[in-house]
Structure 1
């Protein structure tokens, strides 16, 4: 590679040395992290806005879940492609285009007069986020050299996500009470600000040495179809049954598509995904931890929202404020997580995080018809506030360590795919478990919550033991 092409990266890495970060570098980091903030903000707000959307647009309950699930489908389905495209055609270019797509789709959702348009807008927003998330993380980890500087940058990245989620809960409650359309309109100016800031502050990607570029179109189409069908099947499985011919048939098609993808990649000169890349056990392990992390948390949040709003009669705003302590604690701990990673390493961070998750979910199993928020919900949320920044930052650092800059987007895509597939899979299993209840009434409803939380707690406990085993083995 020509030395002139590496100059920008070298300059950025030198700027992150012992002399500290200059103002432009700080500004660039904040702008890129704002995309993470925006994604978390949007996901927190939309969950609160779903009932008013149904009321105004007259959406049937059967299609209402797709206001949330369409985003997950677009995000999870295109993540691998998004991550690899960031490596192939440029992280900055992919980031800018994806943020613009997200902004336009969000505006369309706010103007929609039909539920189908809302669902399509959410799907396109998910696709935009599928390109923004790996490109943004790749920009961060290729700008800051591996070690304390990168750990610190990833910690700030995590804190921005926590801030977006915390503000999204409150903003979603306030905006929904005014008009649900503001939940779609608010992200638009934020996305435009990110777009302008990134176009000025994010340096251009160095070009390839010979100016030639090859695209693995068959591989891209095959893996994207496989991921779309996988996420769709997981989301729909509770409705049709995990053992139904429809569900099993779709899983079989997913397996065929993935086998075809592996065959294509093994015979392509410049594959979308180098199969040897999957032998990176640290990356694959981080992706599995990410799946358990978001899967258990999203399931807990789902049950917690039902418990507080449907069983206890809390308003959306009251529920948002009830969950706020977790977000505040995440925001306080996350910026300091880089120092902890430097001292203990990402494996011990992930173990500590899942030890706290397991304790939190065990505490939440004590919920009853009249449980006190201060003695049941609050301790659970405070433990989650400790668990999230430890495990989240640990997974990001482990997934991107030792990976070449030319494949950082792909590594980020694989990690993010773990998050999304895990969230869809664990939540689907939990909702199916909750549907099994012997009778009706409040007591039976509480029992169904317990059934779901046992699945969540078991998943967290298994992950805790697995991360402990890996951490102990790596120490020796």
Structure 2
């Protein structure tokens, strides 16, 4: 396509894709601040609250790669609009859920919709705009999405304290009613003519089943589910090795750098997932904040990411990824340990804000370099796939952390109803999160190097991001002759 970003049609495309992806992004973050109210309203225990968070993350992580492939084959606009409608239907079910079980099932349906619309929104932008405008268009998509992420917890807290927690979900319905018609009217339909072969539905099912069983084992303390989950994970790996068109090609892990950075990703986002889940509860249950107060209190990390992530990426390009990927997790670990000062009667300016600023600076230091290193560790043609795998791995890590931390911290099923009991849980959990970050820093220091590739490395197009729940997705790239070194027929301008 040859649409100009400055044209009316181009602005409509940006509007609808940002609006659609922001719905899914918001639901990854705002639900945390609503959890105490949801628990009281539905008489749910802590395990149910864990599932309310994890059901969404589970289906989103397991299906996001498949969602991108569906768009390439059947039409990116079609799959995007389907995802928006699906997400809205799941949100409507969430808003009217009579009990925790229905809410958990509805959250899983939301995750399916998110897996369709998030990669679809980015693919529409990449396929619609003229080449010289694509980088700016993707930058707008990621930057405006970051603004949405910053507003999300604040908006979620206001809705919870005002009309009620159900409106955190019901708000998505009118947004979808705007987004879908605009996409159908203004976004062109595009497909990848090279997309062929069978979809790896079996791989997606096995990946989701393995994660679900392991999550159930951690939340429900069911040994049999853990054993079954590990067995399913082994079968998943074998299936992916033998398929001609796997969802997760094992060949991409032949890059030592790619494997190392994904190991760092698992550590980092496991800690982040546990931290934001528990901190939203700690601020309300123990410190006594309202939902709006808790959402606003956590804003500094997102604001710092918005303001400084592009500069952090530029710095990492100059000095290499090893130092940022080592220092960043250590700063985050320090911030989490400072959160141990946050208890009853804590002062926001003295206790909460310094910890969150240190935490935010650590995230600024590591997230953009992490994405850049993932892309630089594979050939240009595999950049979109590598980004998708890294994004899914981060979400899976957060999923397992939310499931495991209350178990490891010895938390009771009604702990979030008691300030004393939950405060004890938080004090036991923060060192665990910090320890996982230290492990990530050690892995980065020992294994990460500046990669040497036969083809020109990809650089991130999403330079402004708020990777609180996962690193930003990157668009799939088209390999051009200028991407190849001169010895392989390219210009050699690397």
| TM-score by shorter chain over 0.5 | yes
- 1:180-201 Cα deviation digits (max 9, x unpaired): 2211111223233333444455
Residue 248 in 1 paired to residue 227 in 2?
yes
Secondary structure, counterpart of 1:365 in structure 2: helix
Q: 2:177 aligns with which of 192, 209, 213?
A: 192
5+ long unaligned stretches in structure 2? 453-494
Residue 234 to residue 301, structure 1, CA distance change in 2 (3 Å): same
> 1:171 corresponds to which residue?
155
Q: Residue in 1 aligned with 2:428?
A: 451
The structural deviation recorded for 1:457 is 0.7
Shift of the 417–346 alpha-carbon distance from structure 1 to 2, 3 Å rule, reads: same
* Aligned 8 A contact 1:138 1:408 in 2: no
Match of residue 206, structure 2, among 214, 226, 240: 226
The residue that corresponds to 2:238 in the other structure is 259
Q: TM-score, normalising length from structure 1? A: 0.79
Alpha-carbon distance in structure 1 between the residues aligned to 2:347 and 2:259:
40
Match of 1:325 among 295, 300, 308: 300
Q: Does 1:466 align with 2:443?
A: yes
Instruction: State the distance in 2 between where 1:344 and 1:193 align.
Output: 44
**2:240 and 2:249 in contact (8 A); partners too:** no
Distance 1:135 1:59, change over 3 A: same
Change (3 A) 1:339 1:246: closer
Distance 1:351 1:380, change over 3 A: same
Question: Which of residues 328, 339, 354 is equivalent to 2:329?
Answer: 354
- In the other structure, the counterpart of 2:17 is 32
How many Å separate the matches in 2 of 1:345 and 1:154?
24
Closer, same or farther: CA 277–89 of 1 in aligned 2, 3 Å:
farther
Residues 273 and 418 of structure 1, relative CA distance in 2, 3 Å threshold: closer
Change in 2 beyond 3 A, CA 1:273/1:363: closer
Deviation of residue 43 (structure 1)?
A: 2.7
Give the one of 402, 406, 420 matched to 1:427: 402
Residue-by-residue CA offset, 1:28-65 (whole Å, 9 max, x unaligned): 44543433422232233322333444444455665443
Number of equivalenced pairs: 447
Q: Does the alignment pair 1:236 with 2:216?
A: yes
Superposed CA deviations along residues 343-364 of structure 1, whole A, max 9, x for unmatched, are 4566655445324313322322
Cα 1:101/1:339, change in 2 over 3 Å: same
> What are the superposed Cα offsets for residues 270-314 of structure 1, whole Å, 9 maximum, x if unpaired?
444443233344544444343333321221122322322222222
How far is 1:71 from its partner?
A: 0.9
- Matching residue of 1:380: 355
| Superposition TM-score, scaled by structure 2 size | 0.77
Aligned-residue Cα RMSD (Å) equals: 3.7
Shift of the alpha carbon at 1:418? 0.8
> CA offset at residue 108 of structure 1?
2.9
Paired residues of 2:16 and 2:183 also in contact (CA < 8 A): yes
Matched, 1:208 2:193: yes
Q: 1:283 to 1:137 in 2, by over 3 A?
A: farther
The residue that corresponds to 1:309 in the other structure is: 284
**Residues 1:54 and 1:86: Cα distance change in structure 2 (over 3 Å):** same
Query: Relative to 1, partners in 2 of residues 1:342 and 1:87: Cα closer, same or farther, differing over 3 Å?
Result: farther
Residues 406, 425 of structure 2: 8 Å contact kept = no
In the alignment, structure 1 segments of 5+ residues that lack a partner are 1-7
Q: Quick check: 1:350–1:391 contact (8 Å CA) kept in 2?
A: yes
1:404-423 alignment to 2 at 5 Å? Answer: 404=380, 410-423=385-398
Indicate conservation of the 8 Å contact 1:347/1:471, yes or no: yes
Partner of 2:273: 298
